[in-house]
Structure 1
Amino acid sequence: MKTEIDTRIVDGHATPRELGYSFPAEFAPHAATWLSWPHKEASWPGKIDTIYPSYANFIKELAAEEEVHINVSDEKMKAFALRHLEVVGADLNKVFFHYFPTNDAWCRDHGPAFLTNPLSDQPKALVKWNYNAWGGKYPPFDLDNKIPHHIAKLRDIPCFTPGIIMEGGSIEVNGNGTLLTTEACLLNPNRNPHLSKSQIERYLEDYYGVGNILWLGDGIEGDDTDGHIDDLTRFVNGDTVVTVVEHNKKDVNYKPLQDNTKLLQKLRLENGKQMNVVELPMPAPILYEDMRLPASYANFYIANNLVVVPTFRDANDDKALEIIASCFPDRKVTGIDSLDLIWGLGSFHCLSQQEPL
């Protein structure tokens, strides 16, 4: 039986889960990838000009596999972007620009969470979570907070608005009903201080369409998102995760990553089974102006037939690529230099948001 939804902005109605919607895993087939063109110099102080070659190469790789939709402020920004894409030889027939202005580039967190329900007359919908730039750290964020509504209108699809703060980089799903997140982020009082852990779990269940919530602990040093899961642990298929580990016992990341790995061994999937846990090394510490940057190979992005992995000119780059390639035998796995990008405190996964078929 098909479900009908009469309103595009869905408030006061049944939840997505009740209507049969769920958030597909990133490794499920994509219709497109969404990006917001980087333009905020304060996010890469003194370095923003250096990020565009890597960013443009990221788009080139994506456009070889699927559509790429880019939010820009105006014609001038579009022309600037096109110049960079032409330099790297991106397939511009697969790149689409939208005049949806943003404050910053982190589309994983301010972009929509696309949902699917193949039995519905409207098989695609989205969730517009509220966005406050990771606890109000980087105002203004009013333009970013409007991006999901713009995309819902463009796509003419239902838009669910839970009314609480949530960021795409804070959750990870396997597509079968299990969601991974961290206490460090979702229980941080700078997000939703009025909600208890069980209340947050209910929102996750209702709006991502999952039934099994798994919690890890702390994030990595330098992560201004307060512990996003996409720098820590990622599903590569329905029952396998890769998780970063630090082998230097003197490193500040050693204990929290050991603790998370031990937790993963104890946690169970929606079917009661233990996860397969594949360990991924960390790069050596990257410092810029005496600040530890949150460099992590876990911040890779899965596209159709492709996985793009951040590399850091580090001795562990090749090992990380080899491990990730072993997890995706049917996809091209490519590394793109992220040493300048990470000065913005995020990489390819933070910058992108998938739209499922």
Structure 2
Amino acid sequence: MPAETAPHAATWMAWPSSGYTLGETAAEADAARAAWTSVAHAVAEFEPVKMVVDPAALEVARKWLSGDIELLCCPLDDAWMRDMGPSFVIDQATGTLGAVDWVFNGWGQQSWASWEKDAKVARQVAEWAGATIVSSPMVNEGGAIHVDGAGLVMVTETVQRGAGRNPDWTRQQVEAELSRTIGASTVVWFERGLSRDYDEFGTRGHVDLLATAADSSAVLLHDQRNSSHPDYTVSAELRARLTADLPDWEILSLPAPQTLRDEHGPVDYSYVNHLVCNGGVIACSFGDPHDDAAAGILADAYPGRTVVSVDARELFARGGGIHCITQQQPA
């Protein structure tokens, strides 16, 4: 699996059209559409965007999205393309594009989720992309893995081996499947994710809130520096694991936003949840005093790329961020 920093052919997204993502009121629905639209338009400044749209929502999507965003119709339950879509890979011998089709079951068969339609999206996207499908029996999502493009993958114990996904799999079985499907040779296991990610609409520990490889020698780490936040301990655990497993790597701290809570409790706002695209970085902002500092750190971590910050609060209110609603297709 190529690094996210490798050249892209396109970024794939899915349009919010039903369920909790749209909310219960017209205002909530428009807030969701505005958030997805802002990300799509930001990415489109750097590379093609392909938006999968439920047929029933096609006319609405056309009203919100600019004409340079390609719309492709497919039945949808939800709109988290990183998780339901394929993880694209490249056959190093032939250069052939592949697409790993993980088992998607609504983030561990969560009671509020429906996934009958979304479970079929990866194969449809692979067909549109002209990719060879690599089928996997492992329950997994794209937001649950981060790679450096040179064989390293970061995962979380509560996702790959958690209840509702693959509770009977050993670490060795997970690692063997990651080797077969995405070419992983080194696996970093985090014990858990951010605290809020275990609430009702959380993913139970997705790694794309925790850490990501800026290149094959540096990792960006979510750094909660306020000891009153429960993720203060989580950040310390993450740092200890990275230091132990990747002693020669540089750890680049991305400070957590100054905002600690919303009306539901401690937030999981994370600047790690950004998308790297051709010549750019689409970064989360939160109307927070730390937004500018985080954008500066990302600019230094990805030299030569323009950092564009997009308000991600409406995304996080629905359980994810910018990385969660996008999926890159490598060139």
Identity %: 28
* 1: CA distance, partners of 2:303 / 2:129: 33
Q: Look up the equivalent residue of 2:43 and give its one-letter code.
A: L
Deviates more, 1:46-55 or 1:302-311: 46-55
Kindly indicate whether residue 107 of structure 2 is the aligned counterpart of residue 134 of structure 1. yes
Q: Does 1:342 align with 2:322?
A: no
Matched-pair contact (CA < 8 Å) for 2:21–2:32: no
**1:244 alignment partner AA:** H
CA distance in structure 1 between the partners assigned to 2:74 and 2:183 by the alignment: 28
The answer for unaligned runs of 5 or more in structure 1 is 1-22, 87-91
> SS of the residue aligned with 1:49?
helix
Distance 1:300 1:150, change over 3 A: same
Q: Equivalent residues in 2 for 1:1-357 (5 A)? A: 23-46=1-24, 47-74=28-55, 76-86=56-66, 92-93=67-68, 95-120=69-94, 123-137=96-110, 138-223=112-197, 224-268=202-246, 274-283=248-257, 284-288=259-263, 290-357=264-331
Aligned-pair CA distance for 1:340:
1.7
Determine helix, strand or coil for the equivalent of 1:28: coil
Distance across 2 between alignment mates of 1:322 and 1:338: 17
SS class of match (1:129)? strand
SS for the counterpart of 1:340 is: helix
Q: TM-score, normalised on structure 2? A: 0.93
Segment drifting more, 295-304 vs 36-45 = 36-45
AA partner of residue 83 (structure 2): D
Max Rg structure: 1
Return the letter of the residue paired with 1:337: D
SS in 1 for 2:220: strand
Unpaired segments of 5 or more residues in structure 2?
none
Q: Secondary structure at the match of 1:162?
A: strand
* TM-fit CA distance, 1:48: 2.8
Letter in structure 2 aligned against 1:265: T
Q: State which drifts further: 318-327 or 55-64.
A: 55-64
The whole-number CA distance in structure 1 between the counterparts of 2:20 and 2:147 is 32
Assess, with a 3 A threshold, how the Cα gap between structure 1 residues 41 and 285 changes in structure 2: closer, same or farther: farther
CA distance in 1, matches of 2:22, 2:211: 25
CA distance in 2, matches of 1:104, 1:239: 35
| Offset from partner CA, 1:121-173 (integer Å, 9 cap, x none) | x6111110100111111332011100111122223432111122011111110
1:275 and 1:254 mapped to 2: Cα distance? 22
Q: TM-score, normalised by structure 1?
A: 0.86
Instruction: Find the counterpart in structure 2 of residue 13 from structure 1.
Output: none
Alpha-carbon distance in 2 for matches of 1:294, 1:44: 20
Find the aligned partners of 1:44 and 1:222 in 2 and give their Cα distance. Answer: 20
| C-alpha displacement of 1:266 | 1.5
1:298 Cα offset (Å): 0.8
